[in-house]
Amino acid sequence: MNPYIALTRPGNVVLTAIAVVAGSFIAAGNNIVDFQVEILIASISAMMLVGGGNALNDYNDRESDKENHPNRPIPAGLVSAEDTLLYSQILLAGGLLVVLFGLANKLPFIIALIGTITLISYENRLKALGMSGNIAVGFMSGAVFLFAGMVVNDPGPTLWMFGLAFFATISREIIKDIQDLEGDKDRFTLPARIGISNSLIVAGAILITAVALSYTAAPQFGGMALNAYLIGISAANIMMLIGFQNARNENYFSGQKSIKQGMGIAMLAFIASAGL
């Protein structure tokens, strides 16, 4: 694979484009066909921003990647650190310019700008501060749906998906911090500060908030759409709660993975209900 493509982590880039389309459909339903150009522009912008963020991550982690990920482009000697930094800056600036000048509605640009500032802050400082970093990741995970809703001029229906992704991601990030506790000697993570047991209590409380929030979206659906939503979101919540239980049983990898899968099921529940 071309090292510059590898720097962007193309799998994540493609998933971001899918999330933009999904968020647009959640907001606009079958009227999504009226926003094809806008969604294309927004998807390109989001892909550039995520790709630029991943390249910036590789630049910042270039020393630790010599041990942890020696096959990544910088430690493998396929691209220089300086070129990677420049490449990330081009992608981040390009992603913002695409949405700024490509869309008449400037609200998506504002969300993209806030997300980019959050991303840069996370990579340069917040990542090492534990809970602040977890909140930043939660915001970035949810912001893509809010961004998509603004692209189709109706962010309201995506607020629930934003909230669900925000809280569930924070819970998942805490569990990931527990999983990585031994190797995170230079980070002030929540588990390092208050211990594993207390961190699990916090993660559980935040996850319960996400679960409770998901059911507050039910009134916006009716008939078959409501039934589809309740079935889908309940399946998603069960998957996430199973993940939390796995984490309590010290299977942290399986726990955080199940929460991520539950978030995916929740997105499908919103998509299916929006189409009915």
User: In the chain, where are the structural domains located?
Assistant: 1-152, 155-276
Percent of the chain whose pLDDT exceeds 90: 64
Distance CA 20, CA 33 (A): 14
Point out the residues of the chain with pLDDT beneath 50: none
* pLDDT on residue 221: 85
* Number of C-beta neighbours around residue 235 at 10 A: 15
Topology given in CATH for the domain delimited by 155-276 = Four Helix Bundle (Hemerythrin (Met), subunit A) (1.20.120)
Q: Does domain 1-152 have CATH number 1.10.357.140?
A: yes
* pLDDT on residue 185: 65
